[in-house]
Amino acid sequence: MCSGVYERRAQYYETDQMGVVHHSNYIRWFEEARVDFLNRIGAGYRKMEAAGIVSPVVSVACKYRSMVRFDDEVEIRLKITAYNGVKLSLSYEVRDKKDGTVRCIGESSHCFLGPEGKPVSLKKDYPHYHELFMNCMQEEQ
């Protein structure tokens, strides 16, 4: 449930004048993979927002290893690297689907806010979601 790969094909509009995917698009791809992951584990943005929880990005980073070009297919592997009930950190690895070459790696950190925009503890206030994230952490080990 917690593992898996998000697959994507690079689109023409995502490329720059050099014919490679523009660096800003990798951050969007991380978000696509994250949305897919959260939906798969039962903690999708739509569900959490309906429950009164938002999860903004606190930080995001990306290190580029090699280029992705138009029509290349990539696999994005995502995993939880840290979770404490209030913050969630994820890592991303973008690989060429054909040969497995690492194209980039990245990470993002998120917090959880309640309806008033103040930090909330999923462990205390939303135990169902806390359990979903904890199960994924245990599955990764």
Phi/psi at 34 (nearest 5 deg)? -65, -45
Provide the 10 A C-beta neighbour count for residue 29.
Answer: 23
Name which CATH class applies to 5-140: alpha beta
Query: What's the whole-model pTM score?
Result: 0.94
Task: Count helices and strands (H / E) in the chain.
Answer: 4, 5
Q: Which residue among the candidates 16, 71, 96, 99 is catalytic per the annotation?
A: 16
Point out which residues pair with 6 in neighbouring strands: 76
* Mean pLDDT, residues 9-21: 95
16 is catalytic: yes
Predicted pLDDT at 44: 96
What three-state secondary structure class fits 110? strand
Q: What is the pLDDT of residues 92-124, one digit of tens each?
A: 999 999 999 999 999 999 999 999 999 999 999
Q: What is the pLDDT of residues 49-95, one digit of tens each?
A: 999 999 999 999 999 999 999 999 999 999 999 999 999 999 999 99
